[in-house]
Amino acid sequence: MRKEISIRIVLFAFFAVLCALVLVPFYAIALGSFKPGKELVRNGLNLSLDLSVMSFDNFVFLFTGNHAYFLWFFNSFLLTIVQVALTLLVSAFVAYGFAAYEFKGKNVLFICVLLIMMVPFEILLLPLYKLTFDLGLMNTFSAIVLPGVANASTIFFFRQYLRGIPNEIITAGRVDGASEYGIYFRLVMPIMKPAFAAMAILNGMHSWNNLLWPFMVLSDSNKYTLPIGLKTLLTPYGNNYDLLIVGSFFSILPIFLLFVGFQKYFIDGMTAGAVKG
């Protein structure tokens, strides 16, 4: 009994320290958002709570100043919603095909999915850029959304999740006369809610924070996403730290709210299949 209590105390202390380390950067940027830019230039981001230099001026400037922050925010929000929705829909269809059907070349195609997961995006960057240019999609939101619609990691996750669903559910649907689409939308999709939630969070985080690819294909400042817009605040001619820090802090909130809202499903989805039963 004492041994179990000791183990629990050690684990609690370990995770408490780990949680504190994870929260330190958020605490630093939260404090920095209340400090003027010149203070950040002088001392950088730090953990000191100096009330003499802290104010709400940065937040006032964020909501009332002459800048394009909320245009960038809206572009990122729109792209994230569209990209996540299409990625979940298409990837779930592909994964369902791998999990529920037997067809010639199935294993070869799935191995291709696994191989794609092993290729860094930087290797695909130039060929993808050339293809986007040849298709006339440069400087469009389609150029950002389409390359990630069939996401290999999401397909793999969905396929593994679907393999844990009893085949009797699909068989029962066919016996009752349901179409293949009816089986998928009425029987399979409701069971996949935890998996959808988990992948929505992970794909949402990736899309929201994506900088490299949008930066390569977008040239119109009115189409900039939030990461690109924040990057433009740092120039050789001057740095707008006032907007940069408070804008970075504000940009965390959507992902934080997304995770809090889907936390239960996220945990269920990520742990599904961990224990066979």
* 113 and 127 share one domain: yes
Q: Give yes or no: residues 59 and 98 share one domain.
A: no
Helices (H), the chain: 2-32, 37-43, 57-64, 69-100, 106-118, 121-134, 142-145, 152-163, 167-175, 180-182, 189-191, 193-209, 212-217, 226-231, 241-261, 263-271
Mean pLDDT of the chain: 86
Q: Which of 34, 66, 98 is the last residue of a domain?
A: 66
Q: State pLDDT tens for residues 108-119.
A: 999 999 898 888
| Residue 273: predicted pLDDT | 47
Residue ranges making up the domain that contains 116: 67-271
Number of separate domains in the chain: 2
Summarize pLDDT for 121-160 with one digit per residue, the tens.
888 899 999 999 999 999 999 999 998 898 999 999 999 8
Residue 50 domain flag = yes
Mean pLDDT value of segment 150-172: 87
Angle at the Cα of 158 (from 153 to 163), degrees rounded to 5? 130
Q: With a cut of 60, say whether residue 275 has pLDDT above it.
A: no
Indicate if 12 and 139 belong to the same structural domain: no
Mean pLDDT of 191-205: 88
The 10s digit of each residue's pLDDT in 17-47 is 998 888 888 888 888 888 888 887 777 777 8
Q: Which CATH number characterizes residue 100's domain?
A: 1.10.3720.10
Residue 173 lies in a domain: yes
C-alpha to C-alpha distances, 131 to 87, 134, 136, 146, 213, nearest whole angstrom: 20, 5, 9, 12, 13
**Domain check: are 151 and 86 in the same one?**
yes
| pTM metric for this prediction | 0.84
- Average confidence (pLDDT) over 218-239: 86
